[in-house]
Structure 1
Amino acid sequence: MEKYKIYQLTTEDLEFIYRACHQLIEKHDSVETDIFARDCAVYAMELSRNLREAVLDFKNTTHSYAAFLIHGLPFDIENIQTPSTWDCNWHHSETFTYEVIHSLISCLFGEIFGWSTQENGRFMRYVVPIQGDAYEQLGSSSSVELDWHTEEAFHPTPADYVSLMCYRNSEQAATSLCHVDEIVRQLDEKILDILFSRSFCIAPDTSHHVKENKSNHWDIDIKKYCMSAEAKYADTPISVLYGNREWPFMRADLPYMAVFDGNEDAAMALEQFKLVVNQSLIDVCLTEGQIMLIDNRRAVHGRRQFSAKYDNYGRWLKRINIIRDLRALASEFNQLCDRRIV
């Protein structure tokens, strides 16, 4: 059985994508504005019916696909170098056309948003290997495996989908995936009962810390960190599984999750959970131009260790956070910002 849904773009799909992309480029010079995110959601409604139907079925039906993989987009960045840092200019990107296409397709799944404690709320995040981060639990690492997780597992309202677009991957670094259904079917009822209980805690990962957000393009506003993710959520009791017992959601982050208050039964259940996930991961090696939407409520993802190139032509992805209903984040929006930022 397929572990992720594959969609091949047709000539008709591409015609609709290019038309909408051209219209957005005429109005905007950056994806990093609230009005772009709003316009992008509107223009996404004009993409081909076949693509919209496929996405709708993925979003609204019961299935065990960890991700929706789109391929068939003509792609050429031969004369554009991989950045050496995530801290790139917000405006007039060399790859702006592809950023708009990525955003358009992502908006079929929901609304674009950002985190104020992560690159100052940037919508379009760059994922590139950085030598100084090679052994860290960050997307910019390479010499160690990026452990499996759901994005912002510590937060009560994480992204519904994580949208990845591959710009380069000559190193063939694999993205690892595991759907919650694959996990649940291997655990007994006693373990599941514990995993559904608020017996665990998950700390924010280091990408939300001030030191990982230093930028040459803007000044970090320390006020945004006065009630940082670490301070607000690190010691909040949560469940690993939640929602409908027959169709559960999941939050997990291998390096940052622990049992709450020394609960021994929870510790045993968590070890079983980790064991099953480790044994059930599958690998997907993205290629240039592919876009993969990972179901962040129903699947964990990570990245295998790889030998990074630091020659300006190494691995390069871009990432967008997507929420199905922006109202779910309304009470969380950072009041110090004028954008859709939590």
Structure 2
Amino acid sequence: MDNIPGTKELDRGIWEVTLTDRVSSACGDVLDALSRSFETADDPMFLRRAVRHASALPAEVLDVMDELKYSESVASLVIRNGPVGEAAYPTPAHWRERDPKATVHQDFWLAVMGSQLGDAVGWSSLQDGRLFNDVLPMPGQEEEQTGHSSRTDLQLHVEDGFSDDRCDALALLCLRNQEEVTSTIVTAPQLDFSQLDLDVLFAPRFLIKPDSEHLRRAGADRPTTETPARPVLFGARESPYLRIDIPYTEALPGDLQAEQALDELRAQVAERATVLRLAEGDLLLVDNYRALHGRGTFRARYDGTDRWMRKLTVVRDLRRSRSARRGPQGRAISHFRRPEG
């Protein structure tokens, strides 16, 4: 990344790039063209061709995204001075109340950038199966461990860690953050794995449960509450991948050794997390295998000025979730899905 202009490493595995005005303007031209050709960024025909459309982005942007996709040393990336800014519409009180026209350019920006990391996917158990999700405070959920809380820290986690079909990466675009609510990141390169009990952490001795937002949906496609035992580290022992959702992960009942190993991992995660302040238009990209993300507390006002993020999740191998997405007759039956075209 050092050879790409405008980039700097904020901490181990966490990089920042500030686009020049020229590059940002060129990205904006791409978004303008897309909005003339497609009404929305979840148009199935656009999604199939998103990678092709992204090729019109400046080389400086594509080079940065290549580093995030292919370099194991880059686990999280913040892109500043992008082609979109603060939302022109007030922050909605509920994700169902978002005006469809409110985030057209923002969603195309999320989609073309996400396409460099994989295929966009969504969950039917989240926000009525919408591909692009709203992360905003909601009344009655102030204390929950979801993206709709405010009075409590959203603790560090991988996205949808309970599922084998979780995303490979996620993109969070800041639409409004007047109070400078902090985001937190901790990456695998920041952790000292030599001080952890890898034999235990690599073993299926932990339960990772779905969060309340997934479980709130009723119906046949609701995620199961029967949680199988999983490891919280996997991959190469010299450079592990992460699978931990701090508030929803626990050792198997009675396994004191696993509980101690998990506590030691949690302590490192808490001690080494990096605090980020995202401004309107900033894009945060997270490798869901190499980094955990979270958010600090804030006072929600519910007056249209609260923090508002748009989120998109992507997978590198869409076939990995094929059996979960489609039944024998080709009918979508799962909580994990992508709009069909």
- Corresponding residue number in structure 1 for 2:252: 260
Q: RMSD of the alignment, in Å?
A: 2.3
- Structure 2 partner of 1:203: 209
State, as a whole percentage, how many aligned pairs show the same letter.
27
1:46 aligned onto 2:38: no
Q: CA 1:77–1:290 in 2, change beyond 3 Å: closer, same or farther?
A: closer
1:143 aligned to 2:151? Answer: yes
Q: For residues 47 and 330 of structure 1, what CA distance do their matches in structure 2 show? A: 31
Map of 1:82 onto structure 2: 91
Question: What are the equivalent positions in structure 2 for 1:33-112 lying under 5 Å apart?
Answer: 33-63=43-73, 65-77=74-86, 79-88=88-97, 92-112=100-120
Out of 23, 40, 53, the position equivalent to 1:30 is 40
Alpha-carbon distance between aligned partners in 2 of 1:256 and 1:56, rounded to the nearest angstrom: 32
d(CA) in 2 for partners of 1:33, 1:5? 31
Q: Which runs of 5+ in 1 are unaligned?
A: 212-219
Q: Which amino acid aligns with 1:196?
A: F
**Which stretch shifts more, 283-292 or 7-16?**
7-16
- Inter-partner Cα distance in structure 1 for 2:36 and 2:251: 51
Q: How does 1:292-331 map to 2 (within 5 A)?
A: 292-331=284-323
| Distance in structure 1 (CA, Å) of the matches to 2:339 and 2:30 | 25
Shift in CA distance, 247/331, structure 1 to aligned 2, threshold 3 Å = farther
Partner residue of 2:338?
340
Letter in 2 for 1:45: S
In the TM superposition, what whole-angstrom CA distance separates every residue of 1:218-259 from its partner, at most 9, and x where no partner exists? xx7x33x2xx3234xx42111000011122111111111111
3-state SS, counterpart of residue 68 of structure 1: strand
Which moves more between the two structures, 176-185 or 234-243?
176-185
CA distance in structure 2 between the partners assigned to 1:15 and 1:75 by the alignment: 10
Aligned partner of 1:275 among 252, 267, 285: 267
Pairwise CA distance, 1:79: 4.5
Task: Please give the TM-score of this superposition, normalised by the length of structure 2.
Answer: 0.88
How far apart are 1:96 and its partner, in Å? Answer: 0.7
Preserved CA contact (<8 Å) 1:147 1:255:
yes
Separation (CA, whole Å) in 2 of partners of 1:237 and 1:245: 19
- Match among 220, 231, 235 for residue 239 of structure 1: 231
Matches within 5 A, 1:173-212: 173-185=181-193, 187-188=195-196, 191-211=197-217
Q: Counterpart of 1:340 in structure 2: which amino acid?
A: R
Aligned length: 324
Q: 1:270-310 CA distances to partner (integer Å, 9 max, x unpaired)?
A: 11111111111111111000001011111111111112232
Contact 2:68 2:75 in 1 (8 A): no
Cα distance change, pair 170–331 in 1 and its aligned pair in 2 (3 A): same
2:4 corresponding residue in structure 1: none
User: Are the counterparts in 2 of residues 200 and 257 from structure 1 also a CA contact under 8 Å?
Assistant: yes
| Shift in Å, 1:80 | 1.8
CA deviation map 1:115-147 (0-9, x unaligned): 121123211101111121111111111101111
Name 2:169's counterpart in structure 1. 161
What is the one-letter code of the residue matched to 2:301?
K
Look up the match of 2:6.
Answer: none
Q: Please give the per-residue CA displacement for 1:161-199, whole angstroms capped at 9, x wherever unaligned.
A: 1100001111111111111232234624xx111101111
**Residues 12-42 of structure 1 deviation map (CA, whole Å, 9 limit, x = unaligned):** 5335423332332223222234333223232
1:83 and 1:186 map into 2 onto residues whose CA distance is: 46
Asked if 2 retains the 8 angstrom alpha-carbon contact of 1:66 and 1:177, the reply is no
- The CA distance in 1 between the partners of 2:160 and 2:59, in whole Å, is 32
* Paired residues of 1:171 and 1:308 also in contact (CA < 8 A): no
Q: Is the 8 A contact 1:24 1:39 kept in 2?
A: no
Asked if the contact 1:334/1:341 (under 8 Å) is kept, the reply is no
- Following the alignment from structure 1 to structure 2, what is the Cα–Cα distance between the partners of residues 304 and 210? 23
- 2:95 maps to amino acid: W
Note if contact 2:41-2:107 (Cα within 8 Å) is conserved in structure 1.
yes
CA deviations on 1:31-64 (whole Å, 9 max, x unpaired) are: 234333223232112222221112112221231x
- Matched letter for residue 57 of structure 2: L
Bigger Cα displacement from structure 2, 71-80 vs 101-110: 71-80
Q: 8 Å contact 2:206–2:231 — kept in the other structure?
A: yes
